A and B are shown apart, each in its own frame.
Chain A
Amino acid sequence: MIKEGSKTLLEVKNLHAAVEGVEILKGVDLTVRAGEVHAIMGINGSGKSTFSKVLAGHPDYTVTGGTATFEGKDLFSLEPEERARAGLFLAFQYPVEIPGVSNSALLRLAYNTLQNERGLEELDPLEFEDLLEEKIKVVEMDPRFLSRSVNEGFSGGEKKRNEILQMAVLEPKLAILDETDSGLDIDALRIVASGVNQLLTPDNAVIMVTHYQRLLNYIVPDYVHVMSGGRIVKTGGKELALELEARGYDWLKAAA
């Protein structure tokens, strides 16, 4: 929800980034304030995942120009884990499998690392189990998934739900959801969307990266941005998504 005077979480200015020497992002500007929901749309290859990963600090991507601040701090001076501890979260387009690490152990260790960072008490496995019992309701996950290795043998939809479970446990200030909707059937989409909606507060914000408009029927964006050729070429309200649905992206390419 857009609110006058709410705090700026993320401010990206003229961001350029390259991978393997090829410039992919060519001047991205974006401001996200607390309480807002942003959607970034665009065809495959337009640079949406690159933008997400650059913000999260993926080592394959080099920032070649521009700035990004997170709550006023220079984001690019922070290691990926420092960004996470500062409250930035990326739900991956392709979640990795980690054989041998149970979902619940991962969540507990990650949670306790953040608690430490925030100067709060760590939870022991039993206390954490109670917390987790509440959190899995957000994504309607079967508790049996907790004792399984992270994402190992999970279906596409289960992996995406698992990302949102991590978000629910870690309570980030800014969550970037990279194509969390792709590969989901309609029921899974509803569950994931309702999970995200439950986690939204006036103090946090979400950036949804997608190339379908259907997710936006469930999570209503305040802003819709269109990315093309490594830049945001148009920004509008939720009606822009419908227009994109009806007209496709070509008219924007021409405009850019």
Chain B
Amino acid sequence: MTMTKEQCFEQLLLGKTIKSESWLAPIRDKAGERAQALNFPTARHDDWRLTDLSPLFQHDFHPVDSYASLSPADIDALLIPGSIRLVFVDGSFASSLSDLKPAGAGVTVSSLVERSGDAQVEANFARLADFEQDTFAALNTRFFEDGAFVHVTSETAVPIHILNVATKRETPSAIYPRCLIVMAANSLATVIEDFAGQNDGINFSSAVTEVVLGEDAQLHHVRVQREEKSAFHIGHCAVEAASGSVYTSTSLAFGARVSRHDLHVTLRGEGAEATLNGLALIGGRQIADTHTRIDHASPRCISRQLHKCIADGAAHAIFSGKIMVREGASGTDSAQSSRNLLLSGKAHIDTQPQLEIFNDDVSCKHGATIGQIDADALFFLKSRGFSEEQARNLLTHAFAAEIIDRIPVPSLVESLDRTILERVNGADGAGK
């Protein structure tokens, strides 16, 4: 069924009735109103100017009302051995696939609905993810079914894996993954948010994540978007870092026909640090858009950013990275680098650094490059017996590895490495 943009949006707004706690119900109502008022972004929105959402509008997305039951074998390839695991299937918590046993003292990992009475949930939910200005955040806030709640009060070495799986359904589905991470003062953890699909299913995932870091807390937040290439993925993540805290994000976009990730980090307290590592690796007709904003709202905060896009086929990758330095944020130290690799003449990469600086006493470095596979390296590899394809794969993988290798979970790095090598070996290659 072919839809118009208006019909597509109306269908999403229909949603379904969801019962909520008394504190949450008014938030949902307000979010619903905002979504209706905002509607889909258009090319007139500066932040969406480059993102072609039209493939999304062609589908009739339905809320999920009956849940597929997946067996452990269905998700086996996605697992991270030894992790604390929370699994959501089409937005609904799947306790039988989850494994909370490895969670030690000082680590609470649960379904958000189960903990909706928790003071931390009530205090932080929808506080950072701004649904007033963002349609997709509004839709999520209105219609999310369940989500993950992670509350860490100590230091934990056990990775926390939040796995969102979209199944293939008879009609295209609308799914609203939600996640709230609260890191208490001095806590330390690694959280992996993971988005995957099955069997070329057509789903629209609109995810919202909120991260609160207390004083001197440290979080490595990994995000793996490996949805089916028939899927649509819009993610919105808002982070607030208190003084002395260290937020590290390593975010990968491999999947989806069209994907978008907005990452907003506010360095709220003095001396907070953020490191943002990003990689988009796409081919075919995929579109992957990453918009980040690092807000230096306090003195002496540090931010480091390395974003890489690799585009093959007729793919389009977009990176827009804004660095804001507020008045009074003296001693700001920020560096941003955008490095991009075009694998085909038809692929296309847009990169735009944006600096908004309201302070003199700052160091803000930024740079962007767009290149192709190095011809000398290619010839060198061929002269050592590698075929053109093998040589290109190796070089592409090497370019991606700099980001992947920053993930502090070796088994995940290994499995992503394999995915990438298969992917660059596979049907997404230059020919397509």
The chain A residues found within 8 Å of chain B, CB to CB, are 56-59, 79-81, 83-85, 89-90, 92, 95-96, 98-101, 106, 109-110, 113-114, 117, 149, 166, 170
Question: Which chain B residue has the least Cβ–Cβ distance from A117?
Answer: B385
Contact A57 B383 (CB under 8 A): yes
Contact A100 B379 (CB under 8 A): no
Contact check: which of A92, A113, A149 meets B386 at CB < 8 Å? A113
Contact A98 B384 (CB under 8 A): no
Would you give the 0/1 interface string for B388-432, flagging 1 where the beta carbon is closer than 8 Å to chain A? 101100110111011000000000000000000000000000000
Contact A98 B383 (CB under 8 A): no
Q: Tell me the bound Cα distance from A56 to B382 in angstroms.
A: 9
Question: Which chain A residue has the least Cβ–Cβ distance from B401?
Answer: A100
Contact check: which of A79, A89, A95, A117 meets B382 at CB < 8 Å? A79
A198 CB, min distance to chain B CBs, angstroms: 20
Q: A100-B397, A100-B401 are in contact. Are A166 and B384 (CB under 8 A)?
A: yes
Q: Which residue of B380, B395, B399 has the most chain A CB atoms within 10 A of its CB atom?
A: B380
Residues of A within 8 A of B376 (CB): 96
Residue B47 lies at the interface, judged by CB distance under 8 Å to chain A: no
Residues of B within 8 A of A56 (CB): 383
Contact A80 B379 (CB under 8 A): yes
A125 CB, min distance to chain B CBs, angstroms: 13
B387 CB, min distance to chain A CBs, angstroms: 5
Contact B379 A101 (CB under 8 A): no
Q: A96-B376, A96-B377 are in contact. Are A84 and B398 (CB under 8 A)?
A: no
Residues of B within 8 A of A89 (CB): 383
Interface pairs A-B: 6 shortest CB-CB: A100-B398, A80-B382, A84-B385, A110-B384, A81-B382, A113-B385
Residue B374 lies at the interface, judged by CB distance under 8 Å to chain A: yes
In the complex, besides A98-B380, A106-B384, 19 extra interface pairs with C-beta distance below 8 angstroms are: A59-B375, A59-B379, A80-B379, A81-B382, A85-B385, A96-B374, A96-B377, A98-B395, A99-B398, A99-B402, A100-B397, A100-B401, A101-B394, A101-B398, A109-B390, A110-B386, A113-B385, A117-B385, A149-B398
Residues of B within 8 A of A83 (CB): 383
Residues of A within 8 A of B386 (CB): 81, 109-110, 113
Q: A92-B380, A96-B374 are in contact. Are A110 and B398 (CB under 8 A)?
A: no
Q: A100-B397, A100-B402, A109-B394 are in contact. Are A84 and B377 (CB under 8 A)?
A: no
